[in-house]
Structure 1
Amino acid sequence: MATPPAIRVDMRKLTDCIYFINGNCRSEDIQCSFRHCRVAIQQQTECRNWPNSCRNEDCPYRHPGRVPDPPKPLLQKKHLVSFLWDIENVQIPRGQQPLDIVQRILQKFVVEPGLQLDEFSCFCKTEMMSRENLESLHHANVRIIHVADPKGPEAVDRQIMLGLDRFGRFHQPPATVVLISGDSDFIGKLSDLRYQAGFTVILIYKLAKPELKATANAHYPWELFTEKRLPHSIRPAPNDDTKKMACPHCTNTYATIEALRQHQKDKNHLFYCPVCNEGFPTSQSLDQHQNDKKHLFICPICNKSFPILQSLEQHQNDRKHLFYCQNCNEGFSTSSTLEQHQNDKKHLFYCPVCDRGFFISQDLEQHQNDEKHLLYCQNRDECFFISQALEQHQNDMHNPDKFASNENKSNVQRLVAIFEQKNKCV
């Protein structure tokens, strides 16, 4: 038996006319393509069977029109850009701000192509950089990765290589890696990222071999993102007359260098020497003063000098150039702080005779020799600095039980030798 064909229903005749509900439908009830039910418009309850099964044009409940939800757009992969800056290979020009250079790089590779920044990292030894450059990098939201390794510049290259490895593991194409370096050691890794993994590789270099340039999709000289400018301390004010110069500590600008210097002197907007507290108008003049007057912070272990105390402390922590307490092995940056610790914690070396305390064992031994504050053996044959050494000597040399056991041992060995000799004769 054949199934009768389904009757096609005009759903518009079953759907409420929105204009009729609002009272402004210009069509007659018969001419309008949608439902005009005067009973339904008197309430707000919707029909529970609409639009699935209800086909009653006179249904007393609402039959609202169902507007289909717009299709959701497919999620697109974000094109991320990561920057790795070998700041020892491609250095910051003197008198320029890293913040300005970073902004030019981001404008070129992130803002203009409409991409998304993943991270901007620079690899360096922070004790080799000035405080001004470190602060400028921090303001540019650059991640400063300190490399502390006694094996020289190769340590920075290893950290950058690890950064390239992490980029390849945690990202998928399309993604871009920008390497700011001219070191040929990265040729193999950049080639793998471009040709095997399918990433976009961009190189910014100061001096680079053709082989390194060939591994990148595009390469740009460092000079494209730097420019010759006045030093930061007397740089022209932005969006102002180029002849005006800005104070490095505030936003005031002046037409002459004399007016700027007078302002700095009046407002104490100077760069001060941390040793003698003398003020200077520019950071360059402060550096020159510190070098001329030797007003630097010197590492007491390797005699390396630093312009600020924070750099010296960082160097000491990295290289373990500290003063260690011989009792608890805690390290301190200066001998005075170590002595203060020893006084507070009573971590001293005390004379066993007069109970006087000393910071180091050598001073205690010198005191004992000078004052004859030594510990003598009961036979007065030897003297010692500490009681443990005296006890060991007495146990080794003046212990009757030990000597008796040694004598018995010798007798046994002598009898064994005689017995073996008789066996040989037989």
Structure 2
Amino acid sequence: MHSLSDESVRDYVRKPDPTSKLNHLLFIGDHLSVPVPNHSLPPNIRPVGIFWDIENCQVPFNRSVIQLVERVRQLAFERQYCENVFEVVCDTRKIAAPLLDDLNTTQVTVIHVCGFTKNASDLILMQRIDKFIADKGYNSAIVMISDDINFSPILSKHRNNNRVEVTLIQRRAAQALRNCADFIHDFDNLCQNLNIRHSNQQKG
């Protein structure tokens, strides 16, 4: 499992621009963690971290990411999970501004990583998963949205060592990645019949 030091993260994570319209994004050059309340839950309710490799599993063109996020959350609700974090990691310069605005509307955390370094987003996602498990520990859950086989080691580690329940949302994932999941859903099925995105789209 790859891990980055604080210094190496700063090498390729862009610092926030005070003039940018994207100030709702989380820039992790200076802050590598997000404070998360540690509420106690009933024993049958698992805290869940949802992690989306959005450059790998992309939102269909001009379709509602708000509706797609709601569908992902519904899957978590049906598993009796309690959402603790929902994080999207990407190079925001490659994502259309209206899509970022809609993600902000859904109250997910968007983490910007400059894409100059190979697998930069993957490495940050791995760090975020490790942090979530360190905070929530034994008997928590992860929802991973990606086809990337690079996530196999970290998902397998937490599933086997910490009894973390893993849900994989994928399109054409390799068997090695699928083997790391307790539950598998098809990303394209979740995207079926999504509403067309409107410029003045609001949640609900």
Name the TM tier (shorter chain). 0.7 to 0.9
Matched position secondary structure for 1:216: coil
Alignment of 1:191 with 2:146, yes or no, is no
Alpha-carbon spacing, 1:132–1:186, altered in 2? closer, same or farther (3 Å):
same
Residue 111 of structure 2 corresponds to 145
Q: Could you tell me how far 1:108 is from its partner in structure 2?
A: 1.5
Q: Which amino acid aligns with 2:117?
A: K
Q: Aligned match of 2:95 in 129, 137, 158? A: 129
Residue 53 of structure 2 corresponds to 86
Aligned residue runs from structure 1 range 353-364, under 5 A: none
Residue 221 of structure 1 corresponds to 186
Matched position secondary structure for 1:151: coil
Q: Could you tell me how far 1:226 is from its partner in structure 2?
A: 0.7
RMSD: 2.1
Q: Could you tell me how far 1:228 is from its partner in structure 2?
A: 3.7
Matched position secondary structure for 1:182: coil
Q: Measure the CA separation in 2 of the matches of 1:208 and 1:175.
A: 23
Q: State the 4+ residue runs in structure 1 displaced beyond 3 angstroms.
A: 75-78, 228-231, 248-251
Number of aligned residue pairs? 162
Q: Show structure 2 runs of 5+ residues with no match.
A: 1-40
Q: Does the 8 A contact of 1:83 with 1:178 survive in 2?
A: yes
Q: Does the 8 A contact of 1:175 with 1:199 survive in 2?
A: yes
Q: Could you tell me how far 1:131 is from its partner in structure 2?
A: 1.3
Alignment of 1:107 with 2:58, yes or no, is no
Alignment of 1:175 with 2:126, yes or no, is no
Q: Could you tell me how far 1:219 is from its partner in structure 2?
A: 0.9
Matched position secondary structure for 2:156: helix
Alpha-carbon spacing, 1:194–1:103, altered in 2? closer, same or farther (3 Å):
same
Q: Which amino acid aligns with 2:200?
A: H
Greater RCO, CA 8 A, separation 6+? 2
Determine what percentage of the aligned residue pairs are the same residue.
Answer: 25
Q: Could you tell me how far 1:137 is from its partner in structure 2?
A: 0.3
Q: Deviations over 1:174-208 (max 9, x none)?
A: 21101101101111111111111111011111221
Q: Which amino acid aligns with 1:143?
A: T
Please identify which structure carries the higher strand content.
2
TM-score by length of 2: 0.73
Q: Could you tell me how far 1:161 is from its partner in structure 2?
A: 1.0
Matched position secondary structure for 1:232: coil
Q: Measure the CA separation in 1 of the matches of 2:102 and 2:190.
A: 16
Q: Which amino acid aligns with 1:135?
A: D
Q: Deviations over 1:266-310 (max 9, x none)?
A: xxxxxxxxxxxxxxxxxxxxxxxxxxxxxxxxxxxxxxxxxxxxx
Please identify which structure carries the higher helix content.
1
Q: Could you tell me how far 1:250 is from its partner in structure 2?
A: 7.9
Q: Does the 8 A contact of 2:65 with 2:103 survive in 1?
A: yes
Alpha-carbon spacing, 1:180–1:250, altered in 2? closer, same or farther (3 Å):
closer
Q: Does the 8 A contact of 1:89 with 1:182 survive in 2?
A: yes
Q: Which amino acid aligns with 1:126?
A: T
Q: Which amino acid aligns with 1:150?
A: F
TM-score by length of 1: 0.36
Q: Aligned match of 1:249 in 184, 200, 203? A: 200
Q: Show structure 1 runs of 5+ residues with no match.
A: 1-74, 234-247, 252-426
